[in-house]
Every structure is written in structure tokens, then in C-alpha cells.
Chains A and B, each alone.
Chain A
Amino acid sequence: MKTAGRAQALVIGSGAGGAVTAYELANAGMDVLVVEEGARFGLDDYGHNCPEAMRKLYRRGGMTPILGPVSIGFVEGCCVGGSTEINSGFWARPIPEILLEWKSRFGLLDAGSEQLEPHFDFAEKILKVNRVQGEWPKSTQVFARGIEAMKWSAKEIPRAAHDCVNSNTCANGCRRGAKQGMSNTFIPMAEAHGARVWPDCRVKRLLKNGSLVTGAVVERKSADGSWETAKIDADYVFVCAGAIQTPSILRRSGIKRNIGDTLLIHPMLKVAARFKEQINAGESVIPLLQVKEFQPEIALGGAFFSLGHLALLLSENWPQTGTNMKWHRHMAAYFVMVKSTGRGWVRPSLLESRTTFIQYVLSRDDLLNLRKGLARLCAVLLAGGAVEVYPAVHGLASVKSESEAMRLLDGHISARALSLTTVHAFGTCPIGEHRDLCAADSFGKVHGLDNLYINDASMMPDSPGTPPQASIIALARRNALHFKETGK
């Protein structure tokens, strides 16, 4: 087989985990090669409408559903920068109790709040993490009004964004470059230290020789658009392809112990709320407050809004709710997100090399928390001045009063009536010293192999209870520095 290249450190994936790994290793003087399945885009390619962004920036055009008794919409980025190019840039450190739980349940060493603090500090400086300057957008103000009326605790979530002008294109790529995705932060920083980045280069499987991984078989797009199979030789391999693709690559390579068996997600249910006053959510950034009162089990917050996304939200009861599209200036979108307690798994397809099957079964607690969260979300929005709330629940076209909302707590909502989505997946290759539960040691070195590392969302043993970007970056940097210091 033709050899396409060689590197001291081969980093597979350029998202939150891969970009940070590449930077730290290149900064230490290593010869680093980053391979990314998706293409590399400039700012001019960003910020177009949702269908174009889906075709360009999302894996399989966004058609990667999680299967199960109730299917769940799931999307992830597939471009240089990974999902950091299409997320909202929310930045939240994990809840300290959860880190303690990881230590006791999985034997995860040196990952307490204190040990991670310098890594959060470092990343927050690089990514210019800050709170909104000036007045909150209207969609946040009305949410705040409701939260105050309910006397709940809430917090503005900072964002990895700098000079954001509310162009509301986070999910389509930030055309201004205000959002600090990996493509305009850690990737160029890694390149400045000599790292090479190969976009349009997909890893089929890893090459092994005993307990050593010697490289990877890749498909690389050539100048004429065809895909060529070749191999890349490497001394060390860091798999950072995300919570879905990392276990898929490992399992295709015959590495299966505790790999891909423990998928966790944050199931999310969205609602649209119509207010008396104009909100103009399409002209502002996503609502910035999150209700902390019920965390870590239940989080309430703001969701991305566009005309297309509003139609999507109303589509569960479109014959009854479709006419409300005319109120779009009075509407905003919000979510209830729960810390999953169900079980899921990830498996590569035997028939299609580019397909990975994802399955997740909601637990009774997930459903209960979603129902509780929905009732509370409707109540807080109505308390904030919403005239009507439209949940993405089949058969529940709208909620108009707080008593109606509270009835949801006792009533029955079928799981199959829920239109669930998620953008947070993790836990498919847990790290820790408990070999019976974990795929890799506390610093991401895969058990039983001498030079293979995992360094992305898949390594988080459980939900961080917050948007995972900050946790991924801090853990990835911690692991990369540990590798630099110890050589293992």
C-alpha cells in the first residue's frame, strides 16, 4: 500500500480534542500530522442558510440519527474544527461534584476541579471566553423575567466568542470569525508550531503490530476529487474523532474492550414561545441564561433560532401550529436538556465503511426528567410573559397557562410523542484506572496498547452536566501535557 506520509504523532480529528492535542504536541517540538475527514473552509464559506451549512459542515448532511425505541436527532460537525464550528460556543466548567464522582466510580486520577483549573484558565484566555457586553438580547431578557418570577437560580453562560455582533449564524458557521472555533484558534496555533493539517482525509482503520499501533489506513481526496487509499506511519497515534467516530475507528481496528458500549447523551426537547412583544430572536444571539435550579439532572436554556428552525419546532403539530409562523418576530426557542441515565452504544456498519450506527435507549428517569423539565420550562416562559408555548411534542400543540404546564407533571406523555434532539455525546471510551469499566487509563492511553491515545469527548466517563466543550478541551490539554512530561 502506498505511504501517504509519516509523523511522530498522528492526530485523528481536528475538533475540540484534536486541535488542542495537536497544538500542545507541536509546541513541544513533535512532528505532528492532523488528519480530518471533512474539508477546510474559510470564513466566506460560513454563515449561509441552514441547508447549505448542513451539506457543507455537518457529517452526512446532518443525517446521523440516534436509533432506538425513540429516535433522536443528532448532528456533529465534519470539517476542520469539527463541531466547534457549528456549536453556540457555550463555555461551562463541569460541576465539581461530577468530577468527584468520576474519581470514585472510574478511578479517574488528577482530574479534580483544582487540577483542571489551569487548563480551563489557559483555554479561556485563548478562546476569549466572556459574557455578553452590554444589554442582553430580548430573548434572554424575557427568560430572565420568568426566572425571576419563579425565584429560581440561573446563570449567564459565557461563550467562546469575541466581538460577537449577534449575526445569529452560530449553527451555520460564524462568518465574522467571532466565535472561537478550533479552525481559527488552536489549529492555526498548531500550524504555527509546525503541525501539518490534512483535510479530506478519512481514517479507515489503525494498523497494529502486537501492542504497538504503527499508523493508519486512510482514504485521501486527490486533486481530481477521487479518493485514494494509502497509509500513514506514526510513532504515536491520538484518536480525537469525537464520541461517535472514535469508537467506530477503534472497533474497525479490532480494539473493542470497553469501546463504544457506554454512549451517553444530553437528550433535549425544544419549545417555541410566543410573546406579546417583539423578540426578534433571528437578529440576536441564542438566549444566554441557563436555569441552574434543577441541575445537574435538568437544565433549561435557550436554543438557536431561525425561520427554518422555528418551522422544524412547530412541525410536530404543523396542521394546528403552522399558521403561527407569521408570529416569528414574537417568538424565541428554548430547551430542556437532561443528564442521561439511559444506555447507548456505537458500532461501525459492516456493510458501509462510512456508516456508524448509534443507538440509545431512554431510561424511565430520562423521560421523567424530560416531562418535569418541559412543565417547568413552559411555566417559566409563561411567567416571563409568553402568550403561548409550543413544545415539540406530538399531540401537545400548545400550552397557554401555568396550570396547564403544571398538569404536564402528573399527566402522561408518551416517549414516542417527543421530538428529541441532541448535540452532546460522550462516554463511549471512558478513561480511568478501573480496567473493568474503562477503555483507557486516566490520561487517555488505551489499555493494552503502548502508543495509542484517546483524547476527545469519548473519554469523558459520564456527563459533565454542562455543555461539554470546556471539559473536552481541559481534559485534552491535561492529557497532552502529561504525555509531554512523562513520555507516555
Chain B
Amino acid sequence: MKPGKDFLAALIETILPAETAGLSEEQRAQCLDYVRDFVRSELADLPWSMRALFMAGMLFFRFFVIITRFSGFSRLSAEKRRTTVEAWAWGRFYIARQLFRVVRSLALLAFYEIPAVKAGMGYPAARPESPQAAK
């Protein structure tokens, strides 16, 4: 039981910053794939009952978007997606924030740990090698 790849990719793309220094379009697409796969595997590790609640919440979100925006979330313009996600993920309703907290936290954590993103932001590369690896 995992959220659809396309929906999750659209959601993650909306949460992450639109531009990151030093990343080409191709690199950015690779980063998004990496983040999406990480978030999916993490969600799969949630206990079954919490995963079910998360899925139900996301289904409700998608349904809400359809009846208020007359379009599926993935088909909305980038700007409309952003305002919709901001209203839920950083809005006044605790339940909505909780629903998005897990995705937004995992997505941001994973994105900013990607070596290409770190390098683009001038963050120091990992160091040093282990004594074994150096041999």
C-alpha cells in the first residue's frame, strides 16, 4: 500500500524548492526520482495502521483538490499546486499539517542530503574515508 508514483512525484516537486544552484534539468529530475523513491520506501516502513491513515488522508486530499479545483493534483499548474500544498502543509489545521509533515520532512531531508545538491550549495563533501577504506 503506497501512494501512486505520479502523485507522489508531483507532491514532492511542489514541496521542494523550484530552483537549486548548480543543478541541471537532468540532475534535478534524477534528484526528484531519488527523493520520491526514498519517501516511498520510508512510507512503506510505517506501521500498517498509520500507513492506512496516511493513505486515507491523501485520498481525501486528492478528492478535495478535484472538487475545489476541478482537476487532479498532478494536472494543476505549478503555482496552483504550491498554494494548495502550502494551505494544507503549513496551514492552520493541525490534522492537515500532520498529514503532510511526514512527506515534507522526508522530502526535504533527502533532497538536501544529495551530494549534487550539497555541492551546488557549497556544503562540504563527506570526509574522511575509514581506515579500512583507505587501505
Residues in A lying within 8 Å of B, measured CB to CB: 42-44, 46-51, 54-55, 60-63, 65, 71, 165, 167, 169, 175-177, 280, 282-283, 306-312, 315, 317-319, 322, 325-326, 328-329, 349, 351-352, 355, 357, 394, 416, 419
Chain B interfacial residues counted at CB < 8 A: 43
Contact with A along B26-47 (1 / 0, CB 8 A): 0000000000001001110111
CB neighbours (8 Å) of A47 from chain B are 126, 130
In the complex, number of A-B residue pairs with CB atoms less than 8 Å apart? 112
CA distance A42 to B129 in the complex (A): 13
B132: interface (CB < 8 Å): yes
**CB closest chain-A residue, reference B124:** A283
CA distance A311 to B111 in the complex (A): 9
CB neighbours (8 Å) of B115 from chain A are 49
B71: interface (CB < 8 Å): no
Chain B interface main SS type: helix
Query: Contact: A319 with B86, CB < 8 Å?
Result: yes
Query: Contact: A165 with B128, CB < 8 Å?
Result: yes
CA distance A49 to B113 in the complex (A): 6
B121: interface (CB < 8 Å): yes
**Apart from the given pairs A51-B113, A176-B131, 4 other A-B contacts in the complex at a CB distance below 8 Å:** A51-B110, A175-B129, A349-B47, A352-B48
Question: Which of A44, A165, A349 is in CB contact (< 8 Å) with B132?
Answer: A44
**CB closest chain-B residue, reference A61:** B45
**Which of B42, B109, B118 has the most C-beta atoms of chain A within 10 angstroms of its own C-beta?**
B109
Name the distance in Å between B34's Cβ and chain A's nearest Cβ: 8
**CB closest chain-B residue, reference A69:** B94
CA distance A326 to B124 in the complex (A): 13
CB neighbours (8 Å) of A328 from chain B are 121, 123
CB neighbours (8 Å) of B109 from chain A are 50-51, 308-309, 311-312
Query: Contact: A394 with B127, CB < 8 Å?
Result: no
B residues 20-70 in Cβ contact with A at 8 Å:
38, 41-43, 45-50
CB neighbours (8 Å) of B15 from chain A are 318
Query: Contact: A307 with B90, CB < 8 Å?
Result: no
CB neighbours (8 Å) of B127 from chain A are 167
Query: Contact: A167 with B128, CB < 8 Å?
Result: yes
B78: interface (CB < 8 Å): no
CB neighbours (8 Å) of B101 from chain A are 419
Name the distance in Å between B32's Cβ and chain A's nearest Cβ: 14
Query: Contact: A63 with B48, CB < 8 Å?
Result: no
**CB closest chain-B residue, reference A166:** B127
CB neighbours (8 Å) of A283 from chain B are 124
CA distance A165 to B123 in the complex (A): 18
* Interface CB pairs A-B, < 8 A, 17: A43-B130, A44-B133, A47-B126, A51-B110, A63-B45, A175-B128, A175-B130, A176-B131, A282-B124, A306-B113, A307-B113, A307-B121, A311-B111, A317-B90, A329-B122, A351-B48, A351-B49
Name the distance in Å between B105's Cβ and chain A's nearest Cβ: 6
Question: Which of A55, A169, A308, A349 is in CB contact (< 8 Å) with B112?
Answer: A308
CA distance A326 to B111 in the complex (A): 14
CB neighbours (8 Å) of B122 from chain A are 329
CA distance A385 to B21 in the complex (A): 28
CA distance A47 to B130 in the complex (A): 9
CA distance A48 to B125 in the complex (A): 11
B98: interface (CB < 8 Å): yes
Question: Which of B94, B104, B110 is in CB contact (< 8 Å) with A308?
Answer: B110
**CB closest chain-B residue, reference A357:** B47
Name the distance in Å between B23's Cβ and chain A's nearest Cβ: 14
Question: Which of A43, A319, A394 is in CB contact (< 8 Å) with B133?
Answer: A43
**Are A282 and B38 CB-contacts (below 8 A) given A60-B45, A308-B112, A351-B49?**
no
Name the distance in Å between B38's Cβ and chain A's nearest Cβ: 5
